[in-house]
Every structure is written in structure tokens, then in C-alpha cells.
Amino acid sequence: MDTIIKITLIMDIIAFLMMSRELYTVSQHGKLIINTNKNRIWAIIWSILWAVMIISWCILGYLHYMDNTYNNILMDIFWIEISIYNIIRGSHSSEIRENGIYGSGKFYKWSKVKSYSWILPTTIKFEVSTFFKTNYSFEFTINEELKSKVNETVQKYVI
């Protein structure tokens, strides 16, 4: 096997593992309690863009099937996997869920949330422990009518 094909195959396996991990996380995060993201237009635009890219890679692969080499096919698979991964990640933004919270594009289980504080009347700041960054924080802006529900939920899960 050519070295380029081996590298591309390794990239495909890594992309598949990333996509599988994200799908597993989505299946384990629990039911939605509060969605704090008011503006979903960018997530929709990015999802459409990634879907168009998936379709175009499939069409180009079909139109040039005679010229396709193993490397081209493996690269197409890689970009399709990356597109699906980004669509999955883009569909969740600032959410409080039964088993944790989505913040800054990542899911944090409640056990990873070290503390929280209200920095403004409608803005809550979470401090979480991560693998590389020991003191990482992000903020959610909450509608005034959801503040009591957020407070109740966070007090229930954050120790």
C-alpha cells in the first residue's frame, strides 16, 4: 500500500472515531431542559453548507468514477465524515440537559462542572474542569422567564 493511502486511511479512522464519539455523546446527554441559544440561524447556515459539501463530494465522486483512485475515495469518505461530525456538533450549542450542559461546542457532564455564578441578572457563568485546561469557563445568557428554571436545575445537579 502506498504511504499516502495509509495516511488517508488513518485519517478516515480518526474521523470515524470522532463522529462515533459525538453520536454516542448525543445519545447519552439526556433530555433537553433549557435551550439558551436565541439565534440558531448560524447553526442552520453551517449545517446547510456542510450538507451541500457532502452532496457535492458524492456527485464529484460519481461523475469522475473512472478517475477515482483509492486515495480519492478515502479522501471523499474523510470529508463526508468530517461534514457529518460538524453537522452533529452544530446542532447543539448552549443547552442545559439532563446529564450535563453544552457550552462552547462541547458537552460537559455535571460532574465536570466545578461551579457556577450569576454575573449579570440574566447571564450565568459555568466553570468546568477539562482535560488540558484546568480552569475553563463559559457564559450563557438566559431569558428572564427561564431564570428560575435554570437556577433550580443547576442547583439540583451542581454540588
Q: Is the pLDDT of residue 70 over 70?
A: yes
Question: Are 7 and 85 part of one and the same domain?
Answer: yes
87 and 106 assigned to the same domain: no
Residue 86's nearest CA partner among 112, 113, 56, 48 is 48
Average pLDDT over residues 4-10: 86
pLDDT at 36 over 70: yes
Tell whether 7 and 73 lie within a shared domain.
yes
What is the percentage of the chain residues whose pLDDT exceeds 70? 94
- Identify the bridge partners of residue 35 per DSSP, sorted by sequence position: 95
Asked whether residue 139 falls in the same domain as residue 78, the answer is no
Q: 50: domain range?
A: 3-30+37-92
Q: Are residues 105 and 55 in the same domain?
A: no
Please count the structural domains in the chain.
Answer: 2
Amino acid at 128: V
Residues 121 and 150 in one domain: yes
- The phi and psi torsions of 69 (rounded to 5 degrees) equal -110, 175
Per-residue pLDDT of 88-114, as tens digits, reads: 887 777 788 888 888 777 888 888 888
Candidates 77, 76, 69; CA nearest to 16 is 77
Show Cβ contacts of residue 61 under 8 Å, excluding neighbours closer than 6 positions: 68, 72, 73, 76
Cβ partners under 8 Å of residue 1, min gap 6:
none
The answer to whether the CB of 44 falls within 8 A of the CB of 52 is no
